[in-house]
Chains A and B, each alone.
Chain A
Amino acid sequence: MEKVIITAQGDSLDSELDPHFGRCKFILVCNPETKELEKAITNVNATAQGGAGVSTAQTVADMGISKIITGNIGPKAYEALTASGVEIYVAEPGKVSDALEKFGNGELKKVDDASAPMHTGLGMKKSE
């Protein structure tokens, strides 16, 4: 089964899902079949001045993995990921292992639009 990337606040399956895409702390590469963590990458864009979403999208696109699970996705990252043919799935706050489980069961929603306004990762609240 194809690998999936999950944005996380820590480097293990027990970590919380990171709701931010561009400024997530870790990028976890997981195998949805065996439910195993294959690789944890520290996201260097977490503290980027601007364009964190685009830069993280570049990291994901360069890895050649075409499915990601995150909390919110901004408009620029959305544009970049969809241009790369990456499918985006959103999960509710919770553990990475839970999100992986739900993804495996086909319970996660695939997004077809940016779910967060610009600059959500810069300490701004998502507008309701």
Chain B
Amino acid sequence: MSKGLKIVVLVKQVPDIEKVRFDYEKGRLDRSSAEAVINPFDLNALEAAAQIKEKIGGVVTVVSMGPEQAEDALRDALARGADEAVLLSDLRFAGADTLATSYTLSCAVRKLGAFDLIVCGEKTIDGDTAQVGPEVAEFLGIPHVAYVNEILDVSIAEITVKSRLDKDNYVVKMCFPGLITVTKDANVPRLPTLKDKLRSRKAEIAIWGVGDLTSLDEKQFFGLQGSPTWVARVFAPTSGKKKGQIVEGTPEEKARKVAEILIKLGASQ
């Protein structure tokens, strides 16, 4: 007899966006200027997982990659419906881009063993790429549905969701195992009960480093070493005035002059 679904939720600890300041000299967020919180979209992922667990039964495991302090985010997740937590923390994970992050998370999910569903927030508020969820699915070789704004039905074998892409809604049925990323519209995250909050403070959190994951794959795919992209510079865009040019003459002359200008700017003949 089935004991329900095995659900993994991927979360990230981010600075409180309401308070964080930008260090213009260093070109990066001054993370010390604000308290760290769970990425708000990940709260929707946790809520989706908690609701599925309440309906079908099962276990929700929450995984995060980050420094030791990210343990706070995992305890918060445990208070909000997760049953188990794993922190991926190792200096060699540092400097990871979305590819290395996805790779690391997918290794952790593999190490956890068989699973049915992975739930992620649609993106993080500090990176804003929305790439990690789908990339994790690719590394694991499973299907995914991104931008889920409603879970229409779920059973022990499959999930039916509504996903919004541009202006259109798509209803998609996906067999397990699979991955979804959820938007803010998917649900209203619950507040933790005092009982769950107190339980979460005593819970044991597994901490895995590169050594715990390398038996599965190669070390060079982690952290900065495994990141083909990096942030060269961060700057606040300045608003420049667009230069206008008025072209005079007959319609034919105007067309010729515009064409000359465009060709000079690099347009092909």
B is a partner of A:
no
